[in-house]
Amino acid sequence: MNRLVRIATVLAACLSVAPLAHAADSVTFGLDWVAEPEYGGYYQALATGIYKKYGLDVHIVEGGPQVNNAELLVAGRLTFDITSNGFLALNFVQENIPFVAVAAGFQKDPDILMAHPGVGDDTFAALKGKPIAVSDDTRASWWNYLKAKYGYSDSQLRPYGFSLTPFFTNPTDIQEAYVTSEPFLVHQQTGKWPVVLMISDAGFNGYASLIATSEKLVKTNPGLVQRFIDASIEGWYSYLYGNPAPAFAAIQQANPDMSTALLHFGYSQLKERGIVDSGDTKTLGIGAMTDARWASFFNQMAATGLYDKTMDYRAGYTTQFVDHGFDKPK
Percent pLDDT > 90 in the chain is 87
Got the DSSP string for 221-275? -HHHHHHHHHHHHHHHHHHHHS--HHHHHHHHHH-TT--HHHHHHHHHHHHHTTS
Q: How far apart are CA 90 and CA 94, in angstroms?
A: 6
- Of the two residues 173 and 324, the one the predictor is more confident about is 173
- For the chain, list the domains and their CATH numbers: 3-108+206-316 (3.40.190.10), 111-202 (3.40.190.120)
C-beta of residue 99 within 8 angstroms of C-beta of residue 216 = no
Q: In the predicted model, what is the mean pLDDT of residues 216-220?
A: 97
161, HSE (Cβ side, Cα atoms, 13 Å): 6
Per residue in 258-291, pLDDT (tens digit) is 999 999 999 999 999 999 999 999 999 999 999 9
Per residue in 81-101, pLDDT (tens digit) is 999 999 999 999 999 999 999
Q: How far apart are CA 38 and CA 308, in angstroms?
A: 32
Q: Which residues contact 310 (CB under 8 A, 6 or more apart)?
A: none
Per residue in 98-129, pLDDT (tens digit) is 999 999 999 999 999 999 999 999 999 999 99
Q: Compute how many other C-beta atoms are within 10 angstroms of the C-beta atom of residue 129.
A: 11
DSSP 3-state assignment of 308? coil
Per-residue model confidence (pLDDT) at position 11: 44
- What's the mean per-residue pLDDT of the chain? 92
The conformation of residue 312, written as its DSSP 8-state character, comes to: -
97-113 burial string, b = 16+ CB within 10 Å, else e? bebbbbbbbbbbbbbbb
N- to C-terminal Cα distance for the chain? 20
**Is residue 21 scored above 90 in pLDDT?**
no
Per residue in 144-177, pLDDT (tens digit) is 999 999 999 999 999 999 899 999 999 999 999 9
Phi, psi of 146 (to 5 degrees): -65, -35
Per-residue model confidence (pLDDT) at position 67: 83
Q: In the predicted model, what is the mean pLDDT of residues 229-240?
A: 98
**Is residue 229 scored above 80 in pLDDT?**
yes
The closest of 113, 111, 132 to 197, measured between CA atoms, is: 113
Per-residue model confidence (pLDDT) at position 24: 87
Q: In the chain, which residue ranges form alpha helices assigned H by DSSP?
A: 3-16, 40-47, 50-53, 69-74, 86-94, 136-139, 142-150, 165-169, 182-190, 215-220, 222-241, 245-254, 260-272, 281-284, 291-303
Which pairs with CB-CB distance under 8 Å and at least 24 residues apart come from 63-72?
Answer: 63/30, 63/31, 63/32, 63/33, 63/34, 64/33, 64/34, 65/162, 69/30, 69/31, 69/32, 70/30, 70/32, 72/30
Q: How far apart are CA 55 and CA 36, in angstroms?
A: 25
**Is residue 10 scored above 50 in pLDDT?**
no
Got the DSSP string for 281-296? HHHH-TB---HHHHHH
CA distances from 210 to 276, 283, 324 (A): 11, 19, 17
pTM: 0.90
Cβ burial, residue 32 (10 Å; 0-12/13-18/19+):
buried
Per-residue model confidence (pLDDT) at position 4: 39
Percent pLDDT > 70 in the chain is 92
Q: Which residues contact 67 (CB under 8 A, 6 or more apart)?
A: 61
Beta bridge pairs of residue 27: 58
